[in-house]
Amino acid sequence: MAHYKELGLVNTREMFKKAVTGKFAVPAYNFNNMEQLQAIITACTETQSPVILQVSSGARKYANQTLLKYMGQGAVEMMKDLARSKSLKEIPIALHLDHGDTFELAKSCIESGFSSVMIDASHHPYDENVKITREVVEFAHKHDVTVEGELGVLAGIEDDVVAEKSTYTHPHEVEDFVKRTGVDSLAISIGTSHGANKFKPEQCTKNADGIYIPPALRFDILDEIEKRIPGFPIVLHGSSSVPIEAVKLINSNGGALKDSVGIPEEQIRRATQSSVCKVNIDSDGRLWMTGAIRKVFTEKPAEFDPRKYLGPARDALTLMYKHKNQNVLGSAGQA
């Protein structure tokens, strides 16, 4: 069994304590390959932001669990090299299982060196959710690994996570859930959703500039949850903004994405002024990476060297992650 401390990783406990106090959110960025990982570490080291590297069950199958362990260790070494070369402080890095759906999967990740895991049993009846989550917490805490649970269901599709509609978190359940499970953080549902197709134009209103505005997040639910578990670390999933520039870049270079509207960045920033201390962003990275690759193929159709199209994709990702840290999550300078 590999322990995360041997790999140079940290769990999320101190990260979240600092974020709740400082009114910012730690970025939780999903990755599947080396270029995504390089972009995340470069952006977060250069902006001096703590970071949570997220791996879904689908990414774990794609990249191979043994390789992921060494990629986590390699991320730490890359960060140290960058920090040393640029005279920067080293940043804390956590390796996190995103949307683990069974005890067995969470256990396997902990034993392979993950420092944090999510157990998402929100699709089960409430008492079953409590039971499964508690089982994971008991095992994880023996190894000083932090655990994220979930109450409520987010609509949308992301890897193996599929739900047709959202079920908002019931504030009256949160105290009991946290007490009975012992989780270290709680993912809630207040109107965000998974994937790039979050809202259709007909679900939105148009402003004077012709820009689609989606339904506002349910800050009333967030406020009530905060009253019931003050200062407890809250997580928002499905928080990509689906930038129109990235969608246009894809579609102008042979793509066929449908019109879609994401979560406005100002709403995410507002949420971080509460106990929301972790924000998950995946689809925005996929969009910018795909757009950059398609652009190379359009402009240079004879190109076949992966470095020549994955390199620009990595650069586009780095810029996007820096923007999120500096202008949306408020995590820049908080390492």
Catalytic residue among 81, 98, 144, 284: 98
Instruction: Name residues whose C-beta falls within 8 Å of residue 67's C-beta, 6 or more positions apart in sequence.
Output: none
Q: Which amino acid is at 179?
A: K
Whether 98 sits among the annotated catalytic residues: the reply is yes
The rounded distance, in Å, linking the Cα atoms of 202 and 57 is: 33
The contacts of residue 275 (CB under 8 Å, 6+ apart) are 20, 225, 226, 229, 230, 231, 232, 233, 234
Alpha-carbon torsion (131, 134, 139, 140), positive or negative: positive
Contacts of range 216-222, beta carbons closer than 8 Å, 24 or more positions apart:
216/191, 216/267, 217/190, 217/191, 217/192, 217/263, 217/267, 217/271, 218/168, 218/190, 218/191, 219/190, 219/270, 219/271, 221/168, 221/169, 221/171, 221/188, 221/190, 222/188, 222/190, 222/271, 222/274, 222/276
How far CA 298 is from CA of 35, 188, 258, 291, in Å, comes to 21, 41, 20, 10
- The pair of three-digit structure tokens given for residue 244, joined into one six-digit string: 């129109």
Q: What residues are annotated to the active site?
A: 98
